[in-house]
């Protein structure tokens, strides 16, 4: 089911028409009906906090059981499949069309939040204190939305939404740290995946590994992988791929049996000059200078 505007979604849900066609704030509780085997896509941003009694969300290739409560964020056009979901306790959803953000800093800033591209199994798990903060911000938005809207209402609502997104960024940072025993091994898994890529049969066409490829092998989204590695190592997934490739290149150069162009092609570079530029950027000297230094 593809909802092109918020009013269509509200009508389908049996909810009142939105006060503003570009924005809807919805609270729900365990009396909500069961949602069965629906694939849903929206042409607007979705921010949601919920717990589920039973059922399953399927987003991409991943499944998530949300009985402990979670918060998730979707960009326009993303798809979510729902299987026999029954809501547990209270929750809320915020639906905001991009046009509502025009001429406000959030129009550009909301695109910078990577968590809108996370998979559903990478949802934000809130502590009790964090839930209070998010509910408080939601309540302030809802009060402004429903009570005597005027020329200041949009600015006030978006200021609270801006705060909610900033808090989400902070809470995700906390989540990365709290899950260190799980995430701390990610860089090892990352390097193991690259080892398999270069030494196995996963690269028959001799191409450079992409962040998307590694993320798929590790069953997480590209943005979540990069943010997790950034928290763990201070470097993004792409930077770590470059470091790995350059390390491999150093070993090949020291062996002295292959030309620089041959090494570039073996590593998956279609353009040897690009390999040389990347090598110099990472090492500080050209591949030729590095090779000559060790051979001499």
User: Cα(284)–Cα(70) distance, rounded to whole angstroms?
Assistant: 45
Matching residue, tokens 């919920």: 50
Q: 89 — phi, psi (to 5°)?
A: 65, -170
Matching residue, tokens 């547990």: 88
Q: How confident is the model at residue 36 (pLDDT cuts 50, 70, 90)?
A: low
What does the pLDDT look like over 48-75, one tens digit per residue? Answer: 887 665 555 554 434 444 444 578 888 8
pLDDT recorded at residue 181: 44
Q: How confident is the model at residue 166 (pLDDT cuts 50, 70, 90)?
A: very high
Q: Is the pLDDT of residue 295 over 90?
A: no
pLDDT recorded at residue 62: 41
Using alpha carbons only, give the angle 112, 166, 6 rounded to the nearest 5 degrees.
70
pLDDT recorded at residue 129: 83
Q: Is the pLDDT of residue 177 over 70?
A: no
| C-alpha 290: how far from chain center | 38
Indicate where the chain has its CATH 1.10.10.60 domain(s).
Answer: 186-295
Neighbouring residues of 2: CB distance < 8 A, sequence distance ≥ 6: 41, 42, 43
Neighbouring residues of 196: CB distance < 8 A, sequence distance ≥ 6: 202
Matching residue, tokens 């998010």: 134
The arithmetic mean of pLDDT across residues 16-35, rounded, is 76
DSSP alpha helix (H) spans, the chain = 6-13, 106-109, 128-146, 153-178, 180-183, 186-199, 211-218, 222-233, 237-255, 260-267, 272-283, 287-295
Mean residue pLDDT across the chain: 80
Q: Is the pLDDT of residue 202 over 60?
A: no
Rg (CA), the chain: 24
User: Cα(290)–Cα(224) distance, rounded to whole angstroms?
Assistant: 35
Q: How confident is the model at residue 102 (pLDDT cuts 50, 70, 90)?
A: very high
Per cent of the chain over pLDDT 90 is 21
pTM to 2 decimals? 0.60
186-295 placed in CATH 3.40.50.720: no
2-127 placed in CATH 1.10.3470: no
For the chain, the straight-line distance linking the first and the last C-alpha, in angstroms and rounded, comes to: 67
pLDDT recorded at residue 53: 54
Q: Give the DSSP H/E element, type plus range, for residue 89.
A: strand 79-96
Q: How confident is the model at residue 162 (pLDDT cuts 50, 70, 90)?
A: very high
Neighbouring residues of 139: CB distance < 8 A, sequence distance ≥ 6: none
DSSP-assigned beta bridge partners for residue 70: 50
User: Cα(15)–Cα(275) distance, rounded to whole angstroms?
Assistant: 57
Q: Of the ranges 59-63, 142-146, 169-173, 177-181, which is most confident?
A: 142-146
Q: How confident is the model at residue 204 (pLDDT cuts 50, 70, 90)?
A: low
Indicate where the chain has its CATH 2.60.120 domain(s).
Answer: 2-127
* SS3 (DSSP) at 56: strand
User: Cα(63)–Cα(52) distance, rounded to whole angstroms?
Assistant: 13
What does the pLDDT look like over 139-150, one tens digit per residue? Answer: 999 999 988 788
Q: Give the DSSP H/E element, type plus range, for residue 120.
A: none
Q: How confident is the model at residue 32 (pLDDT cuts 50, 70, 90)?
A: low
């Amino acid at each position: 089911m593809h909802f092109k505007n918020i009013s269509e979604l509200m009508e389908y849900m049996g909810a009142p028409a939105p006060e503003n066609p570009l924005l809807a704030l919805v609270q729900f509780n365990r009396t909500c009906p069961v949602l069965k085997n629906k694939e849903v896509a929206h042409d607007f941003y979705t921010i949601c906090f919920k717990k589920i009694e039973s059922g399953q969300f399927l987003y991409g290739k991943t499944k998530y059981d949300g009985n402990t409560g979670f918060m998730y964020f979707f960009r326009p056009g993303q798809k979510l499949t729902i299987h026999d979901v029954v809501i547990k306790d209270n929750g809320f959803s915020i639906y905001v069309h991009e046009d509502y953000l025009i001429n406000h800093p959030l129009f550009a800033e909301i695109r910078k939040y990577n968590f809108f591209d996370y998979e559903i199994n990478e949802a934000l798990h809130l502590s009790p204190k964090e839930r209070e903060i998010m509910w408080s911000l939601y309540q302030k938005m809802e009060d402004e939305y429903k009570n005597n809207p005027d020329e200041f209402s949009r600015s006030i609502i978006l200021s609270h939404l801006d705060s909610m997104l900033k808090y989400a960024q902070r809470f995700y940072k906390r989540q990365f740290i709290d899950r260190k025993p799980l995430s701390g091994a990610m860089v090892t898994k990352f390097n193991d995946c690259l080892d398999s890529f270069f030494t196995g049969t996963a690269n028959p066409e001799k191409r450079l590994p992409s962040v998307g490829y590694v993320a798929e092998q590790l069953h997480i989204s590209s943005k979540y992988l990069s943010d997790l590695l950034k928290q763990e190592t201070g470097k993004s997934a792409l930077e770590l791929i470059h470091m790995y490739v350059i390390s491999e290149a150093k070993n090949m150069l020291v062996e002295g049996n292959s030309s620089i162009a041959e090494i570039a092609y073996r590593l998956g570079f279609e353009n040897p000059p690009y390999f040389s530029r990347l090598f110099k950027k990472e090492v500080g000297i050209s591949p030729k200078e590095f090779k000559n230094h060790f051979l001499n």
